[in-house]
């Protein structure tokens, strides 16, 4: 029997010839630049300071003349003109929805949506969720947080609705018990949520609902919002516990909820929004452009196309990625990526660039010798240290404290061999760290926790 044919993308734009997509993006970019020049105080000032005339930007090469927009600039913009900042480019009367970032570094960053923006977000999200396996008529259990304006809440719901699937909006904030009871009762085909939280749900399911996660009958897990979906050990754990395929999605508050999404080939996350966002790849050290080709690495830079309320131009996302494919199943022509770290998270340990997600990958793969849960203790100023890498690692269930020294030495050796840094490991009891929930899992701690808790 022949293998089933890949499903065509949600939108035909995802399978247009790449050259046609680039030409379309350039046309839409010119329109967006005219809009910014007329409506955005933030970009009017930015263009003037750089001596850039938007009308002179005619080619993709010309785009390099426009300075990057950074998160720091957007934070300053929001503080200068609350709620939506100097980069608000639509009248307040046209704003119909406001979303917020997680606010892990202070006050949340707010973004506004006009009615047209909201439609665009729903379309992009629908494309991503469809690529990851959600289909019309599916029942989807919502495991992302539904509160605080997070983009994994209402916008994910709006994307599921656009597909024609049924969302059960319990949310991570509804509690583990309620989510698992809903899973038992509704038997959803799909679950969406953060990877660490969905893995935790599966681990506690036998105790809370008297059945294993794999008995529920879920076929597709759609994960995002934090590192984990692309980490082999965590992905394997999710798929084995649930008996379901795991697909990763990625977006960002400043652009949209979802614009990268993994398809059934599981080669990486495909770009599903080329008509709404222009994505560049740049060298994070030199800021020079990097060509889209399989195997290339770089930082993602985004320009909104057709955005009205909170548009950004050449926004440095801080996401460091590897291009894993150029085109894929169902006739897709867009790039696919894996994200391996963020600039904000990167540490420099004795001259070695290190992402906490890489540490998590190493430690997660050591189960059952350890619980697979680790935190990086970065108790120093800034992102650079000449000291050893400090790690807190949870013991495996039932492990004895008297075995800590041997286990710590094993972890230190694995980290040194895999990441070329010397680590100091402190073992902590199983269950020491809070169980995953509505908040994203923070892999880096800036101060030592209370070890007596």
In sequence order, the β-bridge partners of residue 66 are none
The Cα–Cα gap between 71 and 77 comes to 10
> Mean pLDDT for the chain?
93
Give me the pLDDT at residue 363, please: 94
Residue 240's pLDDT band (cuts 50, 70, 90): very high
Residue whose C-alpha is closest to residue 222's, from 248, 198, 197, 196: 248
Q: Which residue has the tokens 């609705």?
A: 161
SS3 45: helix
pLDDT, tens digit, 9 for 90 and up, residues 276-322: 999 999 999 999 999 999 999 999 999 999 999 999 999 999 999 99
Spatial CB neighbours of 295, under 8 Å, sequence gap ≥ 6: 322, 323
User: What does the pLDDT look like over 35-88, one tens digit per residue?
Assistant: 999 999 999 999 999 999 999 998 888 999 999 999 999 999 999 999 999 999
Rounded CA-CA distance 131/329 in Å is 10
Do residues 358 and 341 touch, judged by C-beta distance below 8 A? Answer: yes
Q: How confident is the model at residue 3 (pLDDT cuts 50, 70, 90)?
A: very low
Averaged pLDDT, 178-190: 97
| Mean pLDDT value of segment 365-385 | 92
Q: How far apart are the first and last CA of the chain?
A: 57
Reported as a pLDDT band with limits 50, 70 and 90, residue 1 is: very low
CA distance 270 to 333: 9
Q: Considering the chain, what percentage of its residues have pLDDT values greater than 90?
A: 81
DSSP state of 122: H
Q: Which one, of 17, 74, 66, 117, lies nearest residue 280 by Cα?
A: 66
| pLDDT in the model for residue 388 | 94
What is the C-alpha to C-alpha distance for residues 103 and 334, in angstroms, rounded to an integer?
A: 31
Give the mean pLDDT of 9-36.
96
pLDDT tens digits, one per residue of 431-444: 999 888 767 788 89
Q: Supply the DSSP string of 296-365, one letter for each residue.
A: -EEEEEEEESS--SS--SSEEEEEEEEEEEEEEGGGEEEEEEEEEEEGGG-EEETTEEE-HHHHHHHHHT
Residue 4 in this model has a pLDDT that exceeds 60 = no
Domains and CATH numbers, the chain: 1-342 (3.40.50.12780), 346-445 (3.30.300.30)
The three-class DSSP label of residue 96 is: strand
Residue 359, judged by CB atoms within 10 A of its CB (0-12, 13-18, 19+), counts as buried
Are 109 and 74 a contacting pair, CB within 8 Å? yes
Using the Cα atoms of residue 194, residue 195, residue 196 and residue 200 in order, give the sign of their dihedral: positive
Place of tokens 């991503």: 128
**pLDDT at residue 382, as a whole number:** 86
Tokens of 57: 């930007």
Query: Which run of H or of E encompasses 376?
Result: strand 370-377
- Sorted by sequence, the CB contacts under 8 Å of residue 63 that are 6+ apart come out as 29, 57, 280, 303, 314
Per-residue model confidence as pLDDT tens digits over 80-99: 999 999 999 999 999 999 99
Check residue 386 and report its DSSP letter: S
Distance (Å, whole) CA 223 – CA 143: 9
pLDDT band at residue 242, thresholds of 50, 70 and 90? very high
Does the pLDDT value for residue 139 go beyond 60? Answer: yes
**pLDDT value for 2:** 42
Interatomic CA distance for residues 444 and 380, integer angstroms: 12
Tokens coding 435:
């169980």
- Lowest mean pLDDT across 123-137, 140-154, 439-453: 439-453
* Residue 341: φ, ψ to 5°: 170, 170
Residue 324 has pLDDT above 70, yes or no: yes
What pLDDT is recorded for position 61? 87
CA distance linking residue 253 with residue 138, whole number of Å:
26
């Amino acid at each position: 029997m022949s293998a089933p044919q890949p499903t065509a993308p949600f939108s035909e734009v995802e399978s247009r010839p790449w050259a046609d997509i680039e030409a379309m993006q350039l046309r839409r970019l010119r329109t967006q630049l005219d809009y910014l020049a007329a409506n955005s105080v933030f970009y009017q000032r930015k263009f003037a300071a750089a001596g850039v005339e938007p009308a002179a930007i005619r080619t993709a090469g010309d785009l390099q003349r426009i300075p990057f927009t950074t998160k720091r600039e957007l934070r300053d913009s929001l503080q200068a003109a609350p709620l939506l900042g100097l980069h608000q480019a639509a009248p307040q009367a046209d704003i119909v929805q406001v979303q917020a970032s997680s606010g892990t570094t202070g006050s949340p960053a707010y973004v506004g949506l006009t009615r047209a923006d909201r439609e665009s977000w729903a379309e992009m999200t629908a494309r991503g969720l469809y690529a990851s396996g959600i289909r019309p008529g599916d029942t989807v259990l919502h495991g992302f947080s539904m509160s605080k304006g997070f983009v994994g809440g209402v916008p994910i719901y709006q994307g599921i609705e656009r597909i024609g699937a049924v969302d059960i909006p319990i949310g991570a904030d509804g509690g583990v018990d309620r989510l698992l009871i809903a899973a038992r009762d509704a038997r959803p085909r799909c679950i969406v949520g953060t990877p660490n939280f969905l893995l935790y749900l599966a681990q506690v399911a036998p105790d809370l609902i008297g059945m294993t996660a794999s008995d529920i009958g879920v076929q597709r897990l759609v994960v995002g919002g934090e590192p984990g979906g692309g980490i082999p050990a965590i992905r394997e754990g999710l798929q084995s516990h649930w008996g379901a395929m795991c697909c990763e999605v990625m977006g960002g508050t400043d652009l949209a909820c979802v614009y990268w999404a993994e398809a059934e080939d599981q080669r990486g996350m495909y770009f599903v929004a080329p008509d709404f966002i222009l994505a560049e790849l740049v060298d994070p050290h030199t800021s020079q452009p990097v060509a889209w080709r399989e195997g290339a690495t770089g930082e993602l830079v985004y320009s909104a196309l057709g955005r009205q309320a909170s548009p950004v131009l050449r926004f440095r996302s801080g996401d460091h990625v590897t291009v894993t494919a150029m085109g894929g199943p169902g006739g897709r022509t867009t790039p696919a990526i894996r994200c391996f770290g963020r600039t904000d998270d990167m540490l420099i340990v004795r001259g070695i660039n290190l992402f906490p997600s890489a540490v998590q990958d190493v430690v997660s793969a050591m189960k059952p010798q350890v619980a697979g849960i680790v935190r990086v203790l970065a108790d120093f100023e800034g992102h650079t240290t000449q000291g050893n890498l400090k790690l807190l690692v949870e013991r495996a269930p039932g492990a004895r404290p008297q075995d800590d020294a041997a286990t710590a030495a094993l972890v230190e050796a694995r980290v040194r061999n895999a990441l070329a840094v010397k680590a100091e490991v402190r073992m902590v009891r199983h269950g020491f760290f809070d169980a995953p929930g509505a908040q994203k899992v923070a892999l880096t701690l800036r101060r030592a926790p209370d070890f007596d808790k």
